[in-house]
């Protein structure tokens, strides 16, 4: 008798080999076939919208409108942008000749990487598996997806979709956890697109090095929000409540902690309270039973958040709003804390939940110093109406993106690259940048029989040396 593990491992071997054999066929597909494949996904999503909403709801009680907006709409928007531009992206991109290369004809072609692996997380479980799939198909690859074992209802729906739409030698899903991911990572894939934690990202990077496989790593981190005294506080508070408590705070580029000018602290906290009450309920009981607020994914994560909260309280943090939780139902209320938080897990780990620590500053340099103590995050958010403050923050911090007077939205702008830097990620995705991530940017240089470069070939006599000297003189 084989153990289930062995059966699935031999299935992985089989599918991987089938995809390797088939990758040359898929590579040679044109715009029409790739676009038709994207349409198949689009139709499936539209026909199975309720099934996707139900699955994500079963995973962490995500409200249907949030699933519509952040999982379904974003996926459809990625398909639309890709379809509208793919013909252009697939065309060779001409490179203007440099003065010494005037007689050449150079261009760049985007060729498929080949057989690629996508490993995705649980927090936007449909979007973060299917969005890279769209880019991978657009670029002409065969694809294996390993969705998260934690959001298992959504992973089952992703598998159902892929099984219905594609033969396994084109696209295939393997469900399962670390064991399956580790086995897949031993294969010599042509690209790995990983979305998940920084810790696992490092494991993926090491595994990829074994085969010189290129990677895109979409990781996490602590994205700060700065609000200065010139900001429109009502607007900032409304956006903060939406951006922080969307998906119950389990958003990679979501606001992690808040740095505000000391003079506006009490006003901003009051406004946050008002918008929480407006969005989720007038009192703790109404908020707890709100249908518009998701739950924490599982027992481990709710335990982690409770530890963060209780530790911060021990260090003297003040609970300004919320602070309620229920381990039985994975409920953690929208929570705002104030204090210094130095040395607490709230400032050492990615929070990834609905807790917003608020710290104050007297001048913008103090806020910048706090940001610089952390590894570069996915995003830095600034609410301000002073260009000088915005520029100072931009010039003195490092992150994957900078967003001014809004939050989170950079993810949904498909003409902008999305990604992190260092601990928050390597490479970018979305729209053209996603297509590029799954493509080999290949240089093509064409020349004629007549080549002025021949004038410089050996033997290197005096005349040639003079010519070389002239060349250097011209280019110095």
Interface contacts to ligand NAD, rule CB under 6 A: 119-123, 128, 146, 148-150, 177-178, 181-182, 185, 195-197, 200, 203, 218-220, 252, 350, 352, 378, 420, 425
Q: How far is the CB of 216 from ligand NAD (least distance, A)?
A: 10
User: Exactly one of 218, 320, 350, 436 is catalytic; which is it?
Assistant: 218
Catalytic residue among 71, 172, 252, 436: 252
Which C-beta is closer to ligand NAD: that of 178 or that of 263? 178
d(CA 41, CA 39): 5
Q: Which two tokens stand for residue 96?
A: 């203007």
Q: Least Å distance between CB 355 and ligand NAD?
A: 15
Q: Strand pairing of 439-446 and 105-112? A: antiparallel
Read off the tokens for 76.
């459809």
Cβ at position 287, least distance to ligand NAD in Å: 24
The gap from C-alpha 367 to its chain's centroid, in whole angstroms, comes to: 25
In sequence order, what are the residues at sequence separation of 6 or more whose Cβ sits closer than 8 angstroms to the Cβ of residue 271?
A: 233, 234, 236, 237, 238
Closest CA to 29 of 136, 188, 117: 136
Q: What is the 3-state secondary structure (H, E, C) of 93-154?
A: EEECCCHHHCCCEEEEEEEECCEEEEECCCCCCCHHHHHHHHHHHHCCCEEEEECCCCCHHH
Least spacing, CB of residue 113 vs ligand NAD, in Å: 20
User: Is 190 or 218 the residue whose CB approaches ligand NAD more closely?
Assistant: 218
Least Å from the CB of residue 12 to ligand NAD: 14
For residue 48, what is the DSSP state?
A: T
How far apart are alpha carbons 330 and 313 in whole angstroms?
20
Pick 19 or 251: Cβ nearer ligand NAD: 251
For residue 173, the SS3 value is strand
Rounded to whole angstroms, the Cα distance separating 359 from 371 reads 12
User: Which tokens is 100 given?
Assistant: 């010494």
Which lies closer to ligand NAD via its Cβ, residue 37 or residue 151?
151
66 vs 320 by CB, closer to ligand NAD:
66
Name the residue nearer to ligand NAD (CB basis): 132 or 339: 132
CB of 199 to ligand NAD, least distance (A): 7
Least spacing, CB of residue 142 vs ligand NAD, in Å: 19
* CA 251 and chain centroid, separation: 10
- Told to judge if 218 belongs to the known catalytic residues of this protein, a careful annotator would answer yes
The number of beta carbons lying within 10 Å of the beta carbon of residue 345 is: 16
Of the pair 63, 220, the CB lying nearest ligand NAD is at: 220
Q: What is the DSSP letter of 264?
A: G
CA distances from 211 to 182, 185, 204, 361, 427 (A): 14, 10, 12, 48, 18
Pairing of strands 318-321, 325-326: unpaired
d(CA 188, CA 366) in angstroms, rounded, equals 47
Using CB atoms within 10 Å of the CB of residue 311, give its burial: 0 to 12 exposed, 13 to 18 middle, 19+ buried.
Answer: middle
Q: Is the peptide bond before 459 cis (omega within 30 degrees of 0)?
A: yes
Could you tell me the maximum CA-CA distance found in the chain, to the nearest angstrom? Answer: 91
Minimum distance, C-beta of residue 182 to ligand NAD, in the bound complex (Å): 5
Instruction: Tell me the C-alpha distance between 383 and 388, whole Å.
Output: 12
With CB atoms as reference, the residue minimizing the distance to ligand NAD is: 220
Quick one: 101 or 306, whose CB is closer to ligand NAD?
Answer: 306
DSSP symbol at 189:
-
Q: Where do the H-state alpha helices sit in 126-260?
A: 127-138, 152-165, 178-185, 198-209, 233-245
Nearer to ligand NAD, 254 or 339 (CB): 254
Least Å distance between CB 90 and ligand NAD?
Answer: 25
For residue 234, what are its two tokens? 């009502």
Catalytic residues, by residue number, are 218, 252
């Amino acid at each position: 008798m084989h153990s289930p593990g062995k059966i699935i491992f031999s299935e992985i071997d089989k599918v991987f080999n089938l995809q390797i054999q088939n990758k040359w066929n898929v590579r040679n597909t044109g715009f029409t076939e790739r676009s038709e494949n994207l349409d198949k996904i689009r139709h499936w999503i539209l026909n199975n919208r309720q099934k996707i909403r139900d699955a994500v709801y079963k995973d962490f009680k995500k409200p249907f409108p949030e699933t519509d907006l952040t999982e379904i709409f974003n996926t459809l928007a990625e398909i639309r942008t890709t379809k509208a531009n793919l013909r252009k992206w697939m065309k060779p991109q001409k490179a203007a000749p440099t003065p010494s290369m005037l007689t050449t004809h150079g261009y760049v072609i985007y060729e498929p990487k080949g057989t690629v692996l996508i490993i995705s997380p649980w927090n936007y479980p449909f979007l973060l598996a299917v969005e890279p799939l769209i880019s991978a198909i657009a670029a002409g690859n065969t694809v294996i997806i390993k969705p998260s074992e934690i959001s298992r209802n959504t992973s089952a729906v992703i598998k159902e979709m892929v099984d219905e739409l594609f033969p396994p030698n084109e696209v295939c899903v393997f469900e399962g956890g670390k064991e399956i991911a580790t086995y897949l990572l031993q294969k010599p894939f042509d690209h790995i697109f990983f979305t998940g934690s920084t810790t696992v990202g490092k494991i993926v990077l090491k595994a990829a090095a074994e085969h010189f496989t290129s990677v895109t790593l979409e990781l996490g981190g602590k994205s700060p929000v700065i609000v200065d005294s010139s900001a429109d506080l009502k607007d900032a508070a409304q956006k903060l409540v939406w951006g922080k408590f969307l998906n119950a705070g389990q958003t990679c580029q979501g606001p992690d902690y808040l740095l505000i000018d000391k003079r506006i602290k009490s006003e901003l906290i009051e406004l946050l309270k008002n918008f929480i009450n407006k969005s989720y309920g007038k009192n703790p009981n109404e908020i707890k039973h709100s249908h518009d607020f998701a739950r924490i994914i599982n027992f481990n994560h709710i335990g982690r958040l409770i530890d963060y909260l209780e530790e911060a309280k021990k260090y003297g943090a003040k609970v300004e709003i919320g602070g309620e939780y229920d381990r039985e139902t994975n409920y953690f209320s929208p929570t705002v804390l104030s204090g210094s938080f130095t040395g607490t897990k709230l400032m050492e780990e990615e929070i990834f939940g609905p807790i917003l620590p608020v710290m104050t500053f007297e001048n913008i340099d103090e806020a910048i110093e706090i940001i610089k103590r952390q590894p570069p995050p996915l995003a830095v958010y600034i609410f301000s109406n002073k260009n000088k403050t915005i520029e100072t923050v931009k010039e003195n911090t490092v992150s994957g993106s900078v967003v001014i007077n809004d939050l989170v939205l950079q993810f949904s702008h498909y003409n902008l690259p999305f990604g992190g830097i260092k601990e928050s990620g390597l490479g970018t995705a979305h729209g053209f940048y996603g297509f590029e991530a799954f493509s080999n940017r290949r240089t093509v240089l064409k020349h004629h029989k007549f080549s002025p470069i021949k004038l410089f070939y050996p033997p290197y006599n005096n005349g040639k040396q003079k010519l070389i000297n002239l060349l250097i003189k011209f280019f110095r």
